[in-house]
Structure 1
Amino acid sequence: MTRRLLYSYLGLALLVLAGLEIPLGYLYARGETSRFSQTVERDATMLAEVTEENIEEGNTTELPALIGDYTARTGGQVIVVDRTGVVLAASGSAVPTGTDLSAEPDIATALNNRPATGTRTDTGGGDVLYATQPGASGTTIRGALRLTYPMTMVTDRVHRVWLALALAGASILAAVALVAFTLARWITRPLRTLHRATTQLADGHLTNPPDATTGPPELRELAATFTHTATRLHQLLDAQQAFAGEASHQLKTPLTALRLRLENFEPYLDPRAHDSLDEAVGEVERLARMVHGLLALARLENTATTPEPTDLDAVLADRAAMWEPLAAEQHVALAVTGTTAGWVWAIPGALEQIIDNLVANALRVAPPGTTLTLTRAPGAELHVIDQGPGMPQADRERAFDRFWRASDSHHDGTGLGLPIVRHLVRASGGEVTLHRAPGGGLDARVRLQPASPASAFGGRRSATRGSSRSGRAAATAR
């Protein structure tokens, strides 16, 4: 933003300078040309009167000395002709004495007792300003005089003025740039500190609040408001996390006690009520799992963690080894296929929980004698494929909604496993989708961002955290 403000100030200054200096230079050039033309005409008139007197008195021999002295003083070139147009004297050697110039337009005009002024190209190819005046007394024409000056005498002065204006404009622009840069830095300082603060807040902490002491009043107020909002947000998050912890502790005990009391009723109930008692105990267990799932999801949403490089192959091998005995108890084979996936970006511990939740959901619907396949595909993609009943398209689109369960579902899931998976995958910079598996069943596809080998050392710690979290993840998914 500093650069844009600086460019806007310089553009405005340049526009103002152009609006002032260009007309000024143009007016000076016109005025200088007009003054030069008037000076040449005045000198030509005066010289024509003097030469006319010399011609009238027959002192033509004094003409070369007269015009030579003028040329030496001013640099102008003078040609004097008689009434027939024959050169009587000329400064320099461009036109020899005795040359007939009566055919030239300005000479012919002057011999008709009318002055002529204009520009022409001389024999050297340069532009000259000429003033041709008749040498006459009344209506008697005794000759004519042509006075010429090179136009460079005017253009050089005009160019010097344009150069002076350009240098003045550049100096002004430099001064404006210095002032504008200082002003832009002053204006944008609160914005820069605000940007750093928002970045820190997005990462879950605010160690450097935005500067609310410098900059325009509006930005100082914005920085102060942001700091107040961030502080209030931290207070709310801390309160919510404290509530989650307290609720986890407070709800766990009465649910456990309620289950024990229901189980203690069994010896005193009619055998016909045992089925209802079992259903009640199952619902209490499901409620406990739902409470744990809600608290786990709340903790995930309140925790901002930066993804780290994680070894997908190591985590997958570890989780497959953990789930294989559980799958065998349900007479379901667990297979790991595909090429080596390498390192991927994931928040710490996310891969373990993602795999545990997906495998737990797949085992819940997998019929005995089928195979649950964990496949690694190119592009840091993981597939969890079961051979269960699958889901229709409408159900797959709603499967990631909280507490949603398919209408034909007969298992005791809480409807929180897939929402937790989606939150973990998106927090890691990836995406999870559900597809129909070939031959029936469901294909849960997790696509993550590949991590570069240079940064993979940071993921080695993440890849070894699965053991401590697998139990919690599996319990949450179920």
Structure 2
Amino acid sequence: MTRRLLLSYLALTALVLLCLEIPLGFVYSRGELERVINAAQDEAESVSAFASLSIDAGRAAQDLPDRAAHCAERIGGRVLIVDQSGDLLATSHELSAELSGAESGNPASWPGIEAALRGTATADVRTSTIGGVEYIAVAAPVTHGAERLGAVRITVPSRMVTERVQHVWLLLILGGLAVLAAVAVIGFAIARWTGRPIRELERATQELADGGPATTVAITNGPPEVRSLAATFNRTAARLEHLLASQRAFAGEASHQLKTPLAALRLRLENLESDIALHARGNLDAAVTETDRLARMVEGLLAMARLDESAVVREPVDLDLVCAERHRAWAPMFEQRGVRLVLLGDYSGPVLAVPGAVEQILDNLLSNALRVSPPHSTVSMDLRRPTAHERRFPHRPLGAARVELHVTDEGPGMTEEQRRRAFDRFWRAPGAPKGGTGLGLALVQRLTHASGGDIALRPAAAGGGLDAMVRLAPAGATTVPPARRLETTAAP
């Protein structure tokens, strides 16, 4: 905003300066030219009067050359005096120096002198080029009473006018630049002062968007529109913070309060086992299973509520160590189901993640994979570090220079539509095994995004199944050691 305001001030000032200085420059140029022409006309009339007296007294040959030389020296130009027939009476320079491309032969045929010899009342003013220099030529008749005695022509170099005009234009340009510089300094200060409320609103909005607290913005500064916007933002931020706090409190409190009755319900169901007939044991087992499912759902809701309440602080996490530890923890359960669990991949090093997030991500992904994997199948945990090209150019392409964690199973897999909806809360794929809550992948996505990463579900490369790919950023510019292949297997 500051830049746009400053550009607006400068553009408006430049427009005003152009509208003022350009006409002023042309007016001065025209006035300076008219001043020089008027001065030359006055000088021509003075020489004409002197020539008239000298010719009438018969002293033209003695007086006129000195007068012409003196006048030419005073005005810095040239003086030419001829009689009525065009014969030369006096000149301040050689006659050849007075000739231009259109002036040759008898001076009586020259345009300015020809008009003066006819006794024209107005002087003939023209601009010619003599010797490569522009001149202003003024011709005046020499008369004595009604008798025409000759003509006087005075030429003044126009470079004097040009130099003065150029000097004025230079002063106008420098003055305009000085005004623009002053406007830039003053305008920058005004723009900063004007944009301060907007910048405060921007900072508060950014903090709110990043998950920070709703900061109240002062509404006493700036124009009325900005103050109204600040007041609206304060109300919106307060309402949003209240809604989020209410949502987090409800999810946390409801999840926490449900844990105790669910545990009591499961205990009572287990105590009924000895009193239930054998043919009704199936219904009892189903009730216990649903109770466990509700307990896991409550745990998922509580985990999400805690994630919303806690500040997202990413820390370096040893991904290799976490994967190895989760492999050891899950291996016995996979063995009981007759499923092969394999850990393989390259040394990946530390990654940035929310503390505890990687463990929960792996637990949910492995739980889902185990639930859908048929006996004698394989579930693999594959670590892939960034390639040398990705580490050298981490800004391209999107998602490059990230460590990839793949959890691949050989289950039925998902269609494209199902993969798009898999991260929705409480959504479960048609025909999914019993016991799921529909919160696992939603929690995995939340934890991955909170850790600055992303997750995608893709079809497995071969043999059906699903490939859950989690990408996390490496922790700092650490030196990655040579590739070290990890391969750990848990076989039934």
**TM-score, reference length from structure 2:** 0.84
Indicate whether 1:81 and 2:82 are aligned. yes
- CA displacement at 1:130 relative to structure 2: 0.7
After superposition, the Cα gap between the structure-2 partners of 1:349 and 1:269, relative to the gap in structure 1 and judged at 3 Å, is closer
- Identity across aligned pairs (percent)? 49
Q: How is 1:143-162 mapped onto 2 (pairs within 5 angstroms)? A: 143-162=150-169
2: distance between equivalents of 1:96 and 1:89? 14
Letter in 2 for 1:254: P
Aligned to 1:101: 107
The offset of 1:303, in angstroms, is: 4.4
The answer to whether structure 1 residue 315 and structure 2 residue 322 are counterparts is yes
**Contact residue 194 and residue 209 of structure 1 kept, 8 A:** no
Q: Which residue of 1 aligns with 2:39?
A: 39
Whole-angstrom distance in 1 between the partners of 2:421 and 2:204:
37
Q: Indicate the residue corresponding to 1:465 in structure 2.
A: none
Q: Which amino acid aligns with 1:431?
A: D
Mapping of 1:218-297 within 5 angstroms? 218-297=225-304
Distance 1:93 1:313 in 2: 104
> What residue number does 1:50 align with?
50
Equivalence map 1:123-162=2 (5 Å): 123=131, 125-137=132-144, 140-162=147-169
- What's the CA shift string for 1:35-67, capped at 9, x where partnerless? 322332233233223313322332111112323
Q: Distance in 2 between matches of 1:292 and 1:202?
A: 27
- Aligned pair in 2 of structure 1 residues 269, 319: CA closer, same or farther (>3 Å)? closer
Q: CA deviation at 1:13?
A: 0.8
1:116/1:74 CA distance change after superposition, 3 Å: same
Change (3 A) 1:27 1:358: same
Q: What is the CA deviation profile of residues 107-147 of structure 1, one whole-angstrom value per residue up to 9, with x for unaligned ones?
A: 34433444421111222x22110111222357744221111
Q: Is the 1:81–1:87 contact (alpha carbons within 8 Å) kept by the matching residues of 2?
A: yes
| Residue of structure 2 aligned with 1:393, choices 410, 413, 416 | 416
Deviation at 1:255, TM superposition (A): 1.4
Give the match for residue 441 of structure 2: 418
Which residue of structure 1 aligns with residue 202 of structure 2?
Answer: 195
Q: Which amino acid aligns with 1:106?
A: G
Q: Tell me, in whole angstroms, the C-alpha distance in 2 between the residues paired with 1:147 and 1:451.
A: 89
Matching of residue 404 in structure 1 with residue 427 in structure 2: yes
**Partner Cα distance (2:15, 2:408) in 1:** 67
Q: CA shift at 1:455, angstroms?
A: 11
Q: 1:311 to 1:111 in 2, by over 3 A?
A: farther
CA distance in 2, matches of 1:95, 1:393: 99
Contact 2:137 2:155 in 1 (8 A): yes
Query: How many equivalent residue pairs?
Result: 454
Query: C-alpha distance in 2, partners of 1:268/1:155?
Result: 120
* Unmatched runs of 5 consecutive residues or more in structure 2: 99-104, 387-402, 481-492
Shift of the alpha carbon at 1:410?
A: 2.6
| 1:475 matched residue in structure 2 | none
Matched-pair contact (CA < 8 Å) for 2:255–2:301: no
Offset of residue 19 of structure 1 = 1.1
Q: What letter is aligned with 2:78? A: Q
Q: What RMSD, in angstroms, separates the aligned Cα atoms of the two structures?
A: 2.8
Query: What is the identity, as a one-letter code, of the residue corresponding to 2:107?
Result: L
Aligned to 2:125: 117
Moved more, 349-358 or 135-144: 135-144
Using a 3 Å threshold, how does the CA distance of structure 1 residues 96 and 455 change in structure 2: closer, same or farther? closer
Which residue type is aligned with residue 44 of structure 1?
A
SS in 2 for 1:453: coil
Cα offset for 1:18? 0.8
Task: Give deviations 1:158-184, integer Å, cap 9, x for gaps.
Answer: 223223322332333233223211211
Cα pair distance change 1:139/1:284, threshold 3 Å: same
Return the TM-score normalized by structure 1. 0.86
Cα deviation per residue 1:433-476 (whole Å; 9 max; x = unaligned)? 222211122111223344442599xxxxxxxxxxxxxxxxxxxx
Name the SS of the counterpart of 1:147 in structure 2: strand
Shift in Å, 1:253: 1.4
Aligned to 1:473: none
Question: Greater shift after overlay, 300-309 or 36-45?
Answer: 300-309
Change (3 A) 1:137 1:447: same
Counterpart AA for 1:426? H
Contact 1:79–1:90 under 8 Å retained in 2? yes
The residue that corresponds to 1:445 in the other structure is: 469
